[in-house]
Structures are given as C-alpha cells and as structure tokens.
Amino acid sequence: MIKPEIYRSLGLSDQEYQKILKILGREPTSTELAMFSVEWSEHCGYPRSRNWLKLLPKKGKYQSLIGEDSGGIIVDDLAIIFKMESHNHPSQIEPKQGAATGVGGIIRDIFTAGARPIASLNSLRFGPLSEPYNRYLLGGVVDGIQFYGNCIGIPTVGGEIYFDESYSGNCLVNAMCIGVANKDKLARAVALGAGNSILYVGSSTGRDGIGGCSVLASHEFKKGEEKRPTVQIGDPFMEKCLVEATLEALATGYIVGIKDMGAAGLTCSVSEMASAGNCGVEIELQLVPRADANMEPWEVMMSESQERMLICARKGKEKEIQEIFLKWDLHAVVIGKVTDNGMVCVKDKGKIVAEVSAHSLTEAPVYDMPYEKPDYLDELNKLDVTKLYEPKDYNEVLLKLLNCPTICNKAWVYEQYDHMVQTNTIILPGMSAAVIRLKGTNKAIAATTDCNSRFCYLNPYRGAQMAVAEAARNLVCSGAEPAAVTDCLNFGNPEKPDRFWYFKNCVEGIADTCKFFNIPVISGNVSFYNESPKGAIYPTPTIGMIGIIEDTGKICRQHFKKESDVIILLGSLKQGLGGSEYLKEIHGLTRGDVPDLDLQLEQSVQAAVLQAIRKGLVNSAHDCSEGGLAVTIAEACITEENQMLGAVIKLDVLENFCLRMDEILFAEAPSRIVVSVNKDNLSALCEIAKKHSVGCQILGEVKGDRLIARYKEKTIIDLSLVKLSDSWRKAIPQRLAK
C-alpha cells in the first residue's frame, strides 16, 4: 500500500492517485508512480492550462508548422523552426547551470526537429540589483548563457532584461532558439512501426536533475527550499557533437522519429513518442548508459541528465546510425523496440517494473481552474495625475530613467555573448530587434522578445496585447514583416484563483491580438508556480516573435544616421502615465490603468513604417516603449557609441494632446514610432502616413552633440550626448561594482 505522503511528495493529489489506480486496476509500482507524477506535472502535461491554450491561433499569413516539441513557418523552401521555454526554478537555485541547461534544452528542441540552430535569444527577470542575491543571480545566469551558447557555437543575438521587486525570490530565465531546415527534411518526435528499434543516444544517465524541471516547476518555492539539489549539469561541448551527429544521422533517412530527453527525461521521450505514434514501446533499463551504476529504475526513468535523446530507427539500419554517433564519441545503444500494443513497458534485468498505456501517461487530467479578479486591482487602477508633482528638472528625470536598470544599456550582458559566430548576424544585440541572414537568399529573419509585466499586472488582457503589439512594432522598425510567435507564459500558483485570473486574461489578450494581426502562435511553454514567500511574480507572458525581411538591403536601425534629418513621430498621440517607468522610478508608484491600445491604429502604424522602410525613405526607426518619447529620442541619439548624433525637438505640436509636460515626455502609450528621414523624403513619408490614416508630427531635426527639447521657446531638456551616454551605459556596471 503506497502511503499518501509518498505520492503527494511527487506532486500528485489524492484524486490523481485514485485515477491512477483506476487506470491500472492495481497499485502502481514505484517506477509507474514516478512516471505518472512527471508526465502529469504542469511542466509536461499542462493539466491546468491546456483548455485556455486552445484559444491561441495556429494559422497566419505564412504557412505554419506545429510539431510535437517546436513549431515554425515556411519561407520559400525553408522551414524556420523556433521555440521559447522557461528554466526559472532551476536558475533561482543554481543560476549558472540552471540557465546553461535551459539554453541546452531549447537548442535540442530545435535540432531534433531537423533544423540547424542559428540563433538564440533570452528574456530575463530579476529583483532589484540593490540586493546582493539578485546581483549573484544576474551574474550567474549571464555566465551560464554565455558558457553554453559560446561553447556550442550558436550566437546569442538578442533578448531583454527587466528588474522588479516581484522577481526577488523567483527569477525568470526564458530561453529561445531559432533554426533553419529544408522544409522537406523535418523530423518528428514519434515512434512508428512495430519491430523498429529504440536507440538511446548522447550522454550518460545520472542522478543529476532527478525531478528537476518536472517537479520543481510544479510547485512554488517555500521557505528554505531554494537549495534543493535538483539542478541538471550541462556539457555544451557534448551537445555540439550531438547537434552534428543528429543532423548527419537524420540525413540518412533511417530515423523514423527523434525526441529530446528534456523535462521528465526517459519517461517523457518514451511515453510521448509512443503516444504520438499510437503504438507501444518496450525498453530494458540495464542497457541505458549510466553515470551512476546503482540507480533504481524510477531514478533512471526520472533523471533529467542533459544531452540525451531517444531515436526510433528503421529495423536493420541501427548499425549505420550507431556508427555516426560513435564517430562523435557519443553513446548509441539499442535499448528497446516499438510494439503494437499501445503500452509503455519498462524492464529492469528482464523484470517488468512498469507497464502502462502510453496515452494514459500523456493525457494528463485537465482541470477547469477557478479564477477571480483580485480585490486590490480596482484601487490600483486609480490614478489622479493632478496629485502628482511635476518635476522641476527634466534633465535630472531623463538621466535617472536612462540609468534605470530596466531601460539602460545592457552591453555588460550581451558583450559576454558571442553574437557573431556562424557569421549570420546583421544587426547586433542592443537594437530593437536582432537580424540574422538566411544564407543562400537575400532574405533575413528579425527576432525579438517582449513583455512589460507591470502592464500585465495592472491590466492582464491589455498588457498581453501590448506585449504582442510591441514585439511586432520592434520587428517592423528593423524592416521585417511580423510572421509568427512563440510564447513563454510565466505566472504564479494556478491553484490560487487570483493568479489564474491573470493567466486566463493574458492568454485571451495574446489570442485576440495574434488573430487580429494574422500571426500564429506556433509553439510555447507554460511556467506556473513562480512564487516565493515574498509573493507571486508579476504575470509575465513573454512573447518571442520572428519576422521576415525580404531584402537585406532594406534593413533599418534605431539610431540617428545623418545631420539635418527630420525627426517625425508616427502614430498615436494619446497619453497616460499608468504603469509607466516614470511613475515607478520618479514617484515610487505602480498603479493606474494601462494605456489604450487601438489594434487597427497599431496595424496601420506598422504598415506605414514598413512601407516607408521598404521604399528606402527612412534612415532610422525606433518604437516608443519604456520611458516614453524622451527616452526613445535619447536612445536614438546615443545607441551607436561611435556615431552619436544630437537632436533638437519642439514639443509644441503635442500640446493639444496632453495637459502635462511629464506625460508628453514619459508616457508609454503604444502605436508610436519615431523615425528620421532626409528632408527630400519628407513629403513621400507624409503621403504614406496619410494613406494609412496615421498621425505624422514633425518633432525636430538631427543636429549637434546635445539633446535639446523646447516648448514655446522654453528649454525643457538640454543635455550633452556624453552625459546621456554615460548615464545609460554605466548603470549596470555601477550597480554590480557595489
């Protein structure tokens, strides 16, 4: 008789254990219990989120590819495969290995689809850098990302970092990878054909990471739990060999299906491949290569040791596949076969230790979780701006915002990453979006990650909409047409109705916005239980988006290029300080409602800017987001350190849309892009704006070595570019030097 404390310690409820008894018609073995616990966990089975994920659109303007472990789109004869996943809980415990294995895991999801990985991005969240442990986490996570990415030879080309008190006690590490394959050469994570062989390839199985992602990511941190020894250890050099061996083996045509042993390890790969193929699989654990000889069967099945994969190979072709992996000094062992009985049969020394229907493992119970709007939110959404003091010194405010860790230059981070390996990178980190060329074509991929979690906290539906809109806007500013989304949905405990209300509303916001823009969500990940004794994180539905640039000769960047260019604001003139970085940093407030988002206007602004870029009219384009208009223009002045150009701005044209100067300068309304154009191209740009019914306000010109903003001949801001640059570039190094 299995005691309740045993299955509860594995994350199973009393009701779930009773369901297992009903499925089996008997008590489970210890191995079976372990297998059910990981496959029914939130990280693997999505029992609490699956109903809502069905809302996300799967089709868009480009042909979609929806795989078992990743997804993508078709561009001509190429498949662009990409996905984003979380490694939050392991990174909070051991930041270097947690982040490193997060990178390794997402890379495996790409090349097991048959695509060669060409770029990585990441989205990171930490608590304030005034706290020593948060500084330790930032340093460790960045070290882990650079360690794995640089060693394996895949460029880390972009991403984002936010800092907020809500992430103290539970940092977020979301890793994204992009790969490219011939559209006719893709692989699936499936087992097919009774009698075909099951091969274990890659590294050895050890006790590191047992229950790491699958168990850790299915409950919130309690006091004293931050040091649980469940974090996996990664070896990027071995994974580099695994990439090459796998792609070479796939090219033989002898592989029926292949799957990464990620969260839930061997249990996940065996059961999900069998279920996807509507077949059974039988394996012998004594054949599994081990790092620890005395492991129990349940430990072998739960281990999340890295750099391992499972292959279903055509019968009679095992030797050819094994020779390829052995050439790369990797294990390649036949550990079982495909059967036609639909059962996952696990043997140890010939004795059956688990025999379970594959579908029963992969079809986790689905729950309709209760949800309820938090009581505090109505009060938080109230903001009377008339009670806010207006700053006397806007120079000081702008410098402080540029020095804010969320807004400031992140060179300390991305300069540790190799972003030029493979020589595909066209636009380097630090811009609105990364751009990677598609070799052999004149096209390129633009990629970005975006989410303003403070907006999602104050208004989850609109905040999620804003995340999608900003991601698309960033791609458009580089000259790309937004094409497809992967998401990483980071939330608190779903068993708490107020937390699940945030999740529900964010998913609805993403779904509605992607449908409006005709952009599919082709892959993704849900990470629940992101809580600590300090409370839940802000809801963070991270959006990873790619876009397609048709002509690499028409790529646009965010910094000003030429003296005397005209600076123009295209788009919305509505304002609002709710949820802004200005409100938080200057007034110490996180409140107000999120600015309105008019999806039709947003689409029109993006269409106008994209058309202007493709016609060669625009010399720079930078979207307004954190910090508002003033920060956007300042960044356009100083982004390119060796080509800093000043600006002279007249704010009079905006006076009819705002009552306050701080709103004009620092509000974070969407659907706004600042562009610079040659004077000769001004009328053509205005015609495009008029055609798309988009506002077009001339703000000033690119000029000199200062940023000057005037209102009715009164100077509001007057700062040297050197001072702006120093404040922006030195923010993180100064804080880490403490």
The dihedral formed by the CA atoms of 399, 401, 403 and 405, expressed in degrees to the nearest 10: 180
The single residue of 43, 89, 331, 622 carrying the catalytic annotation is: 43
What are 738's two structure tokens? 């403490």
DSSP string, 439-481: TTSS-EEEEEEE--HHHHHH-HHHHHHHHHHHHHHHHHHHTPE
Cα(479)–Cα(621) distance, rounded to whole angstroms? 9
Please give the C-alpha separations between residue 266 and each of 169, 199, 210, 303, 675, in angstroms, as whole numbers: 30, 11, 11, 7, 52
Q: Which helix (H) or strand (E) holds 502?
A: helix 497-517
Cα(41)–Cα(221) distance, rounded to whole angstroms? 16
Give me the half-sphere count of Cα atoms (radius 13 Å) on the Cβ side of residue 714: 7
Residue with tokens 């070799």: 439
Residue with tokens 């699936």: 188
Give me the half-sphere count of Cα atoms (radius 13 Å) on the Cβ side of residue 268: 28
Of 520, 521, 435, the C-alpha closest to 480 is: 435
* 290 secondary structure, DSSP code: B
Q: Which amino acid is at 108?
A: R
Phi first, then psi, for residue 21 (nearest 5°) are -60, -40
419 is annotated as an active-site residue: no
Of 421, 639, 427, the C-alpha closest to 547 is: 427
Pairing, β 351-357 against β 343-348: antiparallel
Of 611, 636, 637, the C-alpha closest to 625 is: 636
The dihedral formed by the CA atoms of 90, 96, 97 and 102, expressed in degrees to the nearest 10: 70
Counting runs of H as helices and runs of E as strands, what totals does the chain give?
27, 28
Residues in the chain, overall count: 738
Cα(276)–Cα(191) distance, rounded to whole angstroms? 7
Of 696, 700, 702, the C-alpha closest to 570 is: 696
Of 701, 581, 548, the C-alpha closest to 636 is: 701
Of 550, 560, 577, the C-alpha closest to 641 is: 560
- Residue 637 near residue 645, CB atoms below 8 Å: yes
| 713: region left, alpha or beta (phi > 0 left; psi from -120 to 50 alpha) | left
At 249 the three-state DSSP class reads helix
Of 411, 478, 467, 447, the C-alpha closest to 626 is: 467
87 is annotated as an active-site residue: yes
Can you say whether the dihedral through the CA atoms of 372, 378, 379, 382 is positive or negative?
positive
In what side-by-side order are the strands of the sheet with 116-126?
64-66, 71-75, 78-86, 172-182, 116-126, 156-163
Cα(116)–Cα(108) distance, rounded to whole angstroms? 10
DSSP string, 553-579: GG---SS--STTPEEEEEE------TT
Q: Which amino acid is at 304?
A: E
CB atoms closer than 10 angstroms to residue 167: 27
The single residue of 87, 89, 331, 622 carrying the catalytic annotation is: 87
Phi first, then psi, for residue 231 (nearest 5°) are -85, 135
Q: Which residues are catalytic?
A: 43, 87
